[in-house]
């Protein structure tokens, strides 16, 4: 009996960890990288044009995209929204917009809303990436081929060794640049897209309040996943197969996040160069 229980717990732990690593690990790593690059980009923009410049130059678009991402997920998860401000800069606290909602009660009937608070918190990452993908599709030819290549890379990156991941990412960066400038550097299309990417990329990551509000939802989602894995094992199913499905499902999502990360890195490099030049001129 003890052996059977030990085997069950071991299989449960293996399935649970593999699902997290394969299905969520890459998305989490990309989300963290986007948060870090957004922070660096905002600091560079602040040094270049000041708070007012950043708010007016990027916030008019980036903030509504950020807040609308919260709203869409709240609607899907049936979370009651009490107040929305898509674009209302407050110089006293630096808040550019917000979405307020009724916190779900901790009961089974509102489990989907509890989990939804976590999804709502991280929604700007995916909403911003989706916006950038839509903009690229409108402004650049062969954008569909780029998404296909990014999806293949994201799927391989979940299990490939680091050197291969680095080479694949470098190749993907070159492909992104080629796609953006396919119409030529003299065309208005790539420059408009890069400006849109700067606006959205500077406000893409969830705020601290977004993440704190979703902690309970994250815990509920993990417990729910563990419960489903346990039920699958008891019924004789193999929950490890779900990890493969999760990796395939995460591929296109990770591809859009990779696109957003590449654009943030490019905009960050350009902003750093402009800041260095501005400091040289001032001195």
Q: What is the DSSP letter of 86?
A: S
> Token digits for 270?
């350009």
Q: When comparing pLDDT for 154 and 30, which is higher?
A: 30
At 184 the three-state DSSP class reads: coil
d(CA 83, CA 50): 29
Q: Strand runs (DSSP E) across the chain, as ranges?
A: 81-85, 98-101
Which residues span the domain enclosing 259? Answer: 9-276
- Find out whether 135 and 256 touch, Cβ atoms under 8 Å: no
Asked whether residue 156 is domain-assigned, the answer is yes
pLDDT band at 62 (very low <50, low <70, confident <90, very high): very high
Asked whether residue 211 is domain-assigned, the answer is yes
Asked whether residue 282 is domain-assigned, the answer is no
Do the bridges between strand 98-101 and strand 81-85 make them parallel or antiparallel, or are there none, so unpaired? Answer: antiparallel
- What pLDDT score does 246 carry? 66
Q: Measured on CA atoms in the order 78, 79, 83, 86, is the torsion positive or negative?
A: negative
User: Using N-to-C axis directions, what is the helix angle for 240-282 and 111-139, rounded to 10°?
Assistant: 60
Q: pLDDT digit string (tens) for 96-136?
A: 889 999 999 888 888 899 999 999 999 998 899 889 989 98
Asked whether residue 39 is domain-assigned, the answer is yes
Q: When comparing pLDDT for 31 and 240, which is higher?
A: 31
Q: When comparing pLDDT for 81 and 159, which is higher?
A: 81
pLDDT band at 208 (very low <50, low <70, confident <90, very high): confident
Query: Which one, of 22, 210, 191, 200, lies nearest residue 119 by Cα?
Result: 210
- What pLDDT score does 158 carry? 62
- What pLDDT score does 242 carry? 65
- Find out whether 93 and 64 touch, Cβ atoms under 8 Å: no
- What pLDDT score does 240 carry? 66
Mean pLDDT over residues 246-258, rounded? 74
Asked whether residue 28 is domain-assigned, the answer is yes
d(CA 254, CA 22): 12
Looking at beta carbons, which pairs linking 234-241 to residues 24 or more positions away fall under 8 Å? 239/12, 239/15, 239/16, 239/19, 240/14, 240/15, 240/18
- Find out whether 255 and 154 touch, Cβ atoms under 8 Å: yes
> Token digits for 88?
């209302």
- Find out whether 4 and 234 touch, Cβ atoms under 8 Å: no
First to last CA, the chain: 77
Query: Any idea which residue has 């948060």 for tokens?
Result: 35
Asked whether residue 256 is domain-assigned, the answer is yes
Mean pLDDT over residues 9-16, rounded? 81
For residue 205, pLDDT beyond 90: no
- State the chain's mean pLDDT as an integer: 84
**In the chain, what are the helix, strand and coil shares in percent, each to the nearest 5?**
80, 5, 20
For residue 188, pLDDT beyond 90: yes
Domain count, the chain: 1
- What pLDDT score does 256 carry? 82
Asked whether residue 160 is domain-assigned, the answer is yes
Asked whether residue 153 is domain-assigned, the answer is yes
Indicate the length of the chain as a whole number: 283
For residue 64, pLDDT beyond 90: yes
Q: pLDDT digit string (tens) for 13-49?
A: 887 887 777 667 777 888 888 888 988 998 888 888 8
- What pLDDT score does 236 carry? 77
This prediction has a pTM of 0.86
- What pLDDT score does 2 carry? 40
């Amino acid at each position: 009996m003890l052996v059977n229980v030990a085997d069950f717990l071991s299989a449960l732990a293996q399935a649970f960890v593999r699902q997290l690593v394969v299905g969520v690990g890459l998305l989490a790593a990309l989300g963290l990288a986007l948060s870090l690059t957004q922070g660096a980009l905002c600091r560079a923009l602040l040094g270049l044009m000041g708070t007012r410049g950043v708010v007016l130059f990027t916030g008019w678009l980036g903030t509504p995209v950020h807040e609308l991402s919260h709203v869409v997920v709240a609607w899907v998860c049936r979370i009651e929204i009490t107040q929305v401000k898509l674009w209302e800069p407050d110089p006293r606290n630096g808040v550019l917009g917000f979405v307020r909602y009724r916190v779900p009660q901790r009961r089974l009937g509102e489990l989907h809303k509890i989990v939804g608070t976590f999804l709502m918190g991280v929604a700007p990452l995916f909403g911003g990436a989706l916006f950038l993908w839509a903009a690229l599709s409108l402004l650049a030819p062969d954008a569909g081929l780029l998404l296909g290549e990014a999806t293949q890379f994201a799927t391989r990156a979940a299990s490939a060794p680091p050197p291969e991941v680095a080479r694949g990412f470098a190749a993907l960066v070159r492909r992104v640049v080629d796609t953006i400038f396919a119409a030529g550097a003299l065309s208005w299309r790539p420059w408009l897209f890069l400006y849109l990417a700067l606006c959205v990329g500077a406000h893409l990551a969830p705020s601290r309040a977004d993440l704190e509000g979703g902690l309970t939802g994250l815990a509920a989602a993990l417990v729910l996943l563990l419960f489903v894995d346990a039920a699958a094992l008891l019924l004789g199913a193999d929950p490890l197969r779900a990890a493969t499905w999760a990796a395939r499902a995460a591929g296109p999502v990770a591809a859009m996040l990779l696109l957003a990360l590449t654009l943030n890195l490019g905009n960050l490099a350009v902003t750093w160069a402009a800041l260095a030049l501005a400091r040289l001129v001032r001195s």
